[in-house]
Structure 1
Amino acid sequence: MSGFKAVTVALVVFLSACGVDNDGSPPTEGEVRATFNEQVELSNDCNDTLECAVVYAGCPLGCSAAVNVEKQEEIEELAKELITQYERNGIGCAYSCTQQFPVCVENKCVLDDQ
């Protein structure tokens, strides 16, 4: 399964499971963060720093995450969808973020403040 299809399937499963709870409410901050973090973890493999990119996620998912450059677009789209679902609660938030840079450490893309 291609990466895009895998993320799409994960998003569909997530939205089906918690996009609307039994009481009709949108997903919680914890639910959207857990889904996002799980997909980032599945998308951050690397062999070299050149394979890493920064995804600027946004509240409530965190300022940014490091992923494999081939997964960047997919994870950005997932972040947008998760934030949209979360904001259905009428909740908004904002972060004051510092610039971070992706590096490959022990075959995982991670963020470095440099």
Structure 2
Amino acid sequence: MSESQGIRYARKSIEASCLLLYKGYSCLTQVMNISASGILVAPLEDEHIDGLELGSICILEIVVNETFNLHVSSKVTRIAEGEIALHYISIPEEKQVALWQLLGDHVHEVEVFDT
């Protein structure tokens, strides 16, 4: 691993929707990938939130299927063209086991990434 690389929890691609809430605004997004520590979402066409910036605190309502959704607090860590990366701040205790089950083997795996 070089100095320009870091380690993070492994990402898992899933098909899910996510409602991102920030300061009374909402934005419908598509989940690109998810990990034990965060999520990468892409706003749907014509969706955006004014004033969203690095460090903004958001609420996410992640809808995986008809029986499983996850409500978490998160912090914006990266905003790129068409993508928003967020780090979980708080996961309700009753949803933690379900998240770990959703992640499967990815919950314990790490991967190298370029910083």
TM-score bucket of the superposed structures, by smaller chain? under 0.3
The TM-score, its normalising length taken from structure 2, stands at 0.24
- Normalized per residue, the structure richer in helix is 1
The TM-score, its normalising length taken from structure 1, stands at 0.25
- Normalized per residue, the structure richer in strand is 2
